[in-house]
């Protein structure tokens, strides 16, 4: 299946791109993130990141469909 990925902030720096298309047999965002974490050396643990699929916040174990759009939202601090 083909998944669209949009990268912001640290993720864009780590991957060297703002967007990507991934051909995969993984069925959840958790599997994709853990694969990419190893590949690109992401330093954020999965528990600290929010996930959006098709512009809606989702659980990491949501089943993916062809052409879903994933965005990882890095932890932020404010004050």
- pLDDT, one tens digit per residue, over 30-74 is 999 999 999 999 999 999 999 999 999 999 999 999 999 999 999
Report the C-alpha gap between 6 and 59 in whole angstroms.
17
Give residues with Cβ within 8 angstroms of 78, minimum separation 6. none
**Best CATH choice for the domain 2-73 from the list 2.60.120.10, 3.40.50.2300, 3.10.20.30, 2.60.120.260:** 3.10.20.30
Measured distance between the N- and C-terminal CA atoms of the chain, rounded to whole angstroms: 41
The pTM for the full model equals 0.90
The single-letter DSSP state of residue 28 is B
């Amino acid at each position: 299946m083909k998944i669209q990925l949009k990268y912001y902030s640290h993720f864009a720096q780590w991957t060297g791109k703002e967007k990507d298309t991934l051909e995969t047999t993984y069925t959840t965002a958790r599997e994709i993130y853990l694969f990419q974490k190893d590949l690109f050396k992401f330093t954020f643990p999965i528990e600290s990141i929010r996930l959006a699929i098709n512009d809606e916040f989702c659980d990491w174990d949501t089943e993916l469909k062809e052409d879903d759009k994933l965005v990882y939202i890095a932890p932020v601090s404010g004050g």
